[in-house]
Amino acid sequence: MKLSRVLGLLACFIFALSAHAQHLYFETLTTRNGLSSNDITCVYEDHNGFLWVGTRDGLNKFDGRVFKSFRADPADSNSLSGNNISAIMQDKQGIFWIATRDGGLTRYDENAPEKKQFRQFRFNPKDPHTIATNQLFCLEDWNDDYVLIGAETSPGIFINKKTFQFSYWNFPDGKLAPQYAVPKYTGKYNWIQWISE
Kindly report, residue by residue over 41-91, the tens digit of the pLDDT: 999 999 999 999 999 999 999 999 999 999 999 999 999 999 999 999 999
**Distance (Å, rounded) from C-alpha 188 to C-alpha 154?**
8
pLDDT band at 6 (very low <50, low <70, confident <90, very high): very low
End-to-end CA distance of the chain: 50
Specify whether the CB–CB gap between 35 and 67 falls below 8 A: yes
Burial classification of residue 139, based on how many CB atoms lie within 10 Å of its CB (0-12 exposed, 13-18 middle, 19 or more buried): buried
pLDDT at 78: 96
pLDDT at 187 over 70: no
Burial classification of residue 69, based on how many CB atoms lie within 10 Å of its CB (0-12 exposed, 13-18 middle, 19 or more buried): middle
* 54: three-class secondary structure by DSSP: strand
The pLDDT > 70 percentage for the chain reads 87
Q: Enter the pTM of the model.
A: 0.85
| Position 78, amino acid | N
**Distance (Å, rounded) from C-alpha 84 to C-alpha 76?**
17
**Distance (Å, rounded) from C-alpha 167 to C-alpha 21?**
52
Instruction: Report pLDDT digits (tens) over 107-162.
Output: 999 999 999 999 999 999 999 999 999 999 999 999 999 999 999 888 899 999 99
* 33: three-class secondary structure by DSSP: helix
pLDDT band at 1 (very low <50, low <70, confident <90, very high): very low
pLDDT at 23: 74
Sheet holding 40-45, edge to edge: 40-45, 51-55, 58-62, 67-70
Specify whether the CB–CB gap between 160 and 146 falls below 8 A: yes
